[in-house]
Amino acid sequence: MSITGKTVVVVGGSRGIGAEFVRQFAAKGNAVIAACRQPSQAKEVQGIDGVKLTTCDISSPQSVERWAAEVKEATSHVDYVINNAGIYGRRVGLTDVTAEDMLATFTTNCIGPLLVVQQLHKQGLLGGKQQTVVASVTSKVGSVADNQSGGGYAYRASKSALNIVNKSLSIDLADRNVVCTLLHPGYVVTDMTGGKGLIDKQTSVSGMIGVLEDGAAGKLPLQGTWHDYKKETVPW
């Protein structure tokens, strides 16, 4: 079941996986609102038909609040929220990781996505008569069960925290007809990975949209679940 004719918000839509979400959702005939820290720098998604660029820095509560009001001016309902913005932070191990590393990553990867949902909800843009699906882009690196190699303290912890935030959102917003799910993109060639990876962003994003489309068709449960781009369940 193709997702088309919907209003889709992509947070962190300027580059990488987020920009690819913007392109693929627009190509399927959806109205896309891309949230970027600096729309003027978001060259990859400028000038695409059906795409509106908005300004949002998810590490700033004031910015998220202002942005949600901007989204409200553009639409009365959001069908899909792709909570994609994220940072890896400094690549340091046990000896060098600092409190600042932990907090900076937590601020963007866990608090930011929560504030995005909170503020869109406060604006009355989620759920109600029409369902909303909130898909937060987490990482298997945040899986406790999957951690075989240690390290990555700040990033791992921030994504594990995002996962439990998503679980609470899935419970708290269920009555509002809002479905909250987690997506793992795979190991994808982007700026974040320094150009390394096992798959390209096209493959990753078409796979993750496939998860959402299977969810829309009732073939995959999305509420409170976690799937990778291959539609496999990821262990917590």
Interacting residue ranges for ligand NAP, rule: CB under 6 A: 12, 14-18, 36-38, 56-59, 84-87, 108, 112, 137, 139, 185, 187-188, 190-193, 197
State the minimum distance, in angstroms, from the CB of residue 200 to ligand NAP: 10
State the minimum distance, in angstroms, from the CB of residue 190 to ligand NAP: 3
- 8 A C-beta contact, residue 42 and residue 93: no
* Nearer residue to ligand NAP within complex by CB, 112 or 215: 112
State the minimum distance, in angstroms, from the CB of residue 51 to ligand NAP: 14
DSSP-assigned states of every residue in 87-101: -------TTT--HHH
Distance CA 6, CA 118 (A): 21
- What the block records as the tokens of 115 is 């504030």
- What the block records as the tokens of 184 is 């793992």
State the minimum distance, in angstroms, from the CB of residue 136 to ligand NAP: 8
Q: Quick one: CA dihedral 196, 201, 203, 204, positive or negative?
A: positive
What is the residue type of 185?
P
- What the block records as the tokens of 98 is 């600092």
* Nearer residue to ligand NAP within complex by CB, 31 or 88: 88
* Nearer residue to ligand NAP within complex by CB, 8 or 127: 8
* Nearer residue to ligand NAP within complex by CB, 54 or 123: 54
